[in-house]
Amino acid sequence: MPSRSAAGVRTGVRVVVAGDRGTGKSSLISAAASDAFPEYVPAVLPPTRLPSDFYPDGVPVTIVDTSSSMESRIKLIDGLKRADAVVLTYACDQPMTLSRLSSFWLPELRKLEIKAPVIVVGCKLDLRDERQPMNLEQVMAPIMQQFREIETCIECSSATLIQVPDVFYYAQKAVLHPTAPLFDQEKQTLKPRCIRALKRIFMLCDHDMDGALSDAELNEFQVKCFNAPLQPAEIVGVKRVVQERIRGGVSDLGLTLEGFLFLHALFIEKGRLETTWAVLRKFGYNDELKLRDDILPVPTKHAPDQTVELTNEAIDFLRGIFRLYDSDNDGSLQPSEFDDIFVTAPESPWTVDPYVDAAERTPQGNLTINGFLSEWALMTTLDPSYCLANLICIGYGGDPTSALRVTRRRSVDRKKKQTEKNVFHCFVFGPKKSGKSALLNSFIGRTFSSNYTPTNDVRYVANAVEQIGGSQKTLILQEIPEDGVKKLLSNKECLAACDVAVFLYDSSDEYSWKRSRELLLDVARRGEESGYGVPCLLIAAKDDLDPFPMSLQNSARVTQQLGMEAPIPVGVKLRDSKSVFSRIVSAAEHPHLSIPETEKGKKRKRYRRLVNSSLMFVSVGAAVAVVGLAAYRAYAARKNT
């Protein structure tokens, strides 16, 4: 049974109890469930469920007992890997079982890569030798320092029921209100992603944008998160606590961002993580401090050959954001200005692949407006949900459903012989050293480099392309490494997302031409078999070098046979590649043209036409026969009359 609802809300907590034999695992579980010390307990209990009203959070807890015997090891490992939280037990009257936690159990959990929080529980407190008192905090401090996954430590007695319910309350709390996403135990500070989320919440609550939460804004925040207003004396008390502990936490206008962050750090320090989590969840965050999927209304694609684009409303918002953060008005964003935009997002989204180095920048490394919008177009194409989450995090205030739109199917575009798309996705195929990377670099303004560095992974670049008449489209180029073509084409729907495919070959190398032709035929066949045929262009790269003999003749013959345009000569080194991108966009704008047809495809088309003609002939013949029969019956009836 899943432990989360469709909205990502916890519907149950699974706690696995482990530890050495004889430490009181089964007795602990039985005492917690029955509120009584059991006279007889089996070696291993079946899963035990504590109902939703057992603890204040209203989430049921399922407790799984385990055996520490070698025969049950596989079952133990499986149970631990499925756990939301792990309770590790030791016996208070057996010191050796406590030392076994750090010598075996905790290292074993790490070895198994168990990410669940750990609650260390000392059972049989009533049996401890009073002549050997133990300071739990003092003993556990070095262990907790070494094993940060330990959330808390507690001692209990199943016989006297001392702190038995608390054990599973802390286990549930560690799952529902985890410390790890919020707080860095080593540095004793809020984690960066937590700070970013709280900054966004502060800015959303600071309605007058004066950099402080007034008493009225604090009250509104309190009502939204906890359904109860703060009394005037409580507001005064909160401000006094902040003023005493942090300079600048309160200004004449109210509680500052520094004060707001300090309060949450204080809640966590005092063990009141549920307070901070209540705030975060009220504003839509999940356990990873990202916006939950249920508040991201991404439009649904009903067919593989549909894509998602930003609407004009979203693009206008992004243009405004660019102008707002371009503080020096130089038409580009410096790294510091760029980072400021995403200060309220979980992280800056374009610092990792596939977005890093995917757009146009100035020689100083600043992001131009074209580069900025192209990055957003790329993110929308590859991950619409991630794009919408970032739009909301940076302040998109419109209806989230108005930010994205689903394009019309490419198959419909082909029939209508036109497209309404503003973003085109182009696959770039070609053998090694054919110039694919150089073409992509040229597209985003990178200087040509003669050093050859093979591309082993899929790479993307995106930029705006001006068309004749002043219209502007965004083109995404996706470089497909030669070694990855076979894997790509093994997916029947691989070409569904592609608007146009280009095939590069080194015009000075005969092998490069032959290999490019093979790739073209492979893609054409896949398009015919899947029904997702795409316009294709051949590009004769390195046109500044001497071509191999018969180069032009061979390539012209192949394109003519396949019903494609003649190859486009490009010399990236000579920086004459700009027009080729307009040609690529033009091919994408005419989705019914330049789709290669193999001999097999032509035969299949002729066969379909023949079948359709035969069916039409049969239909016409049947219709004539029916009409004739009806006429004869009418004549016979008239004659009888």
My answer on whether 432 and 391 are in the same domain is no
My answer on whether 65 and 161 are in the same domain is yes
pTM: 0.85
165: domain CATH number is: 3.40.50.300
Predicted confidence at residue 209, as pLDDT, reads 92
Q: How many distinct helices (H) and strands (E) make up the chain?
A: 22, 21
Q: Peptide bond before 354: cis, by omega within 30 degrees of 0?
A: yes
Residue 558 falls inside a structural domain: yes
My answer on whether 32 and 137 are in the same domain is yes
Residue 396 falls inside a structural domain: yes
237: domain CATH number is: 1.10.238.10
Q: Which residues of the chain have pLDDT under 70?
A: 1-8, 572-578, 601-641
Instruction: Label the pairing between strands 250-251 and 254-256.
Output: antiparallel
My answer on whether 264 and 155 are in the same domain is no
Predicted confidence at residue 268, as pLDDT, reads 92
Please give the tally of structural domains in the chain: 5
Angle at CA of residue 441, ends 437 and 446, nearest 5°: 145
Angle at CA of residue 271, ends 270 and 276, nearest 5°: 100
My answer on whether 208 and 330 are in the same domain is no
My answer on whether 62 and 161 are in the same domain is yes
Which domain does 39 fall in, by range?
Answer: 11-175
My answer on whether 24 and 74 are in the same domain is yes
Predicted confidence at residue 560, as pLDDT, reads 87
My answer on whether 164 and 20 are in the same domain is yes
Residue 366 falls inside a structural domain: yes
Residue 479 falls inside a structural domain: yes
Predicted confidence at residue 555, as pLDDT, reads 81
3-state secondary structure of 85: strand
Instruction: Please state, in angstroms and rounded to a whole number, the distance separating the CA atoms of residues 359 and 461.
Output: 6
Residue 112 falls inside a structural domain: yes
My answer on whether 494 and 530 are in the same domain is yes
CA 29 from chain centre, in angstroms, equals 38
My answer on whether 141 and 78 are in the same domain is yes
Residue 181 falls inside a structural domain: no
Predicted confidence at residue 1, as pLDDT, reads 46
My answer on whether 569 and 437 are in the same domain is yes
My answer on whether 200 and 57 are in the same domain is no
